[in-house]
Amino acid sequence: MGKKFWNFTENNGSRVLYLDGIIAAETWWGDEVTPALFKSELQSGSGNITVWLNSPGGDCVAASQIYSMLADYPGKVTVKIDGLAASAASVIAMSGDSVMMSPTALMMVHNPLTVAVGDSGEMTKTAAMLDEVKESIINAYQLKTGQSREKLAEFMDSETWMSAHKAIELGFADGIIAENRTCSPVANRSDTSVKSLTERLNLIMGGISNVKN
């Protein structure tokens, strides 16, 4: 078997799960995120789970299956987004009892899409199907965010990208990973407490400007 999209590790009695890759119904290369590969592993243990998520999205039905597995899991599920939770991956993120994002992570929601072939009747049926898929996705977003269905539909229509702070503001996330971490002392400075990101960037840019070719 090729490389799995998931990886379980143990951490003080709590399982840690890494989901990194494209979400798919079936695997071709061995590294796609598939419900079938994941189900037996999820059910093989117990205890709380931390899910580290980084995915550009993929198959919305497969994402729905993984969302349901995690939402129904008897232990506490903490989702930590360290890179990207876009499209179908944002649905999986909604399964967390707590959703945390890295300060540099992004979340993206948009309308479902597909490829269809056929006459006007087939196109009409496909459009109706996509409308229902959108409604099913809104169900997951609404349960997490408490936002109105109309507002969530607008976010999807606009292909909304969210930073960590924006996701928290809109209810898609609950907090920022390591938000309370203190800065390390900076060498050769009398004021060793750097209190803002602006100061840190100024230090970095100052160092770059002093480099000679």
What's this model's pTM, rounded to 2 decimal places? 0.77
Residue 186 burial (10 A CB sphere; 0-12, 13-18, 19+): middle
- Residue 207: pLDDT band (50, 70, 90) is low
- Over residues 168-202, the pLDDT tens digits come to 999 999 999 986 554 444 444 444 444 455 565 56
- Over residues 75-89, the pLDDT tens digits come to 999 999 999 999 999
Query: Do residues 23 and 63 lie in contact, with contact meaning Cβ atoms separated by under 8 Å?
Result: yes
What residues have CB less than 8 Å from 82, skipping those under 6 apart? 52, 53, 54, 102, 105, 177
- Poorest-pLDDT segment among 59-73, 144-158, 185-199: 185-199
Residue 32 has what pLDDT? Answer: 56
Q: So what's the architecture of 6-181 in CATH?
A: Alpha-Beta Complex (3.90)
Residue 103 has what pLDDT? Answer: 96
Domain ranges of the chain: 6-181, 183-213
Residue 206 has what pLDDT? Answer: 59
